[in-house]
Copies of this chain bind each other. A is one copy, B any other.
Amino acid sequence: MKLITRDTDYALRALCFISRSSAGKFSVTKLSKELGVPRPFLRKILQTLNKQKILESTRGKAGGFILAKDPKKIFLTDIIGIFQGRLKLNECFLNRLICPDQRTCLLRKMLVKIERYVLKELGSITIASLLK
């Protein structure tokens, strides 16, 4: 089971890389070489981050991506949310109507509790904090 999928991972790497360097703006080509991430895939990811206002893009010849937000204000849960949807550990049970047993109650309570914990923990991490 994965808590963090590949695209989230790549997004985090890219954001960390950009944050760390003073240069500010990077093209996909440059980033994909630096991070060792397939270019077209990374491109799609950065485009998504742009749409979500995490990055800001400039088009044209000397174009590229820069941070649109203070790294202190980009939370892990934001990025996970963007690529994996809102974290929901208990979805299988909520989605299922047929849950006639009481067990679901206790189990669901448990899952909700775990979910809250995970969200709290992940919500406490920012890109800035990942930079060390």
- Smallest Cβ distance from A123 to chain B, in angstroms? 11
A90 at the interface (CB under 8 A from B): yes
CA gap between A87 and B114 in the complex, in Å: 14
Residue of A3, A89, A91, A122 with highest tally of chain B CB at under 10 A: A3
The count of chain A contact residues (Cβ–Cβ below 8 Å) is: 41
How many copies the complex holds: the figure is 2
CA of A102 to CA of B132, assembled, Å: 7
The smallest C-beta distance from A35 to any residue of chain B, in angstroms, reads: 8
Answer whether residue A48 sits at the interface, using C-beta atoms and an 8 A cutoff. Answer: no
B117 and A4 form a contact (CB under 8 A): no
Hey, which chain B residues are within 8 Å of A132, CB to CB? 102-103, 106
* Chain A 97-132 per-residue mask, 1 if CB under 8 angstroms from chain B, else 0: 010011100110011011001100110010001111
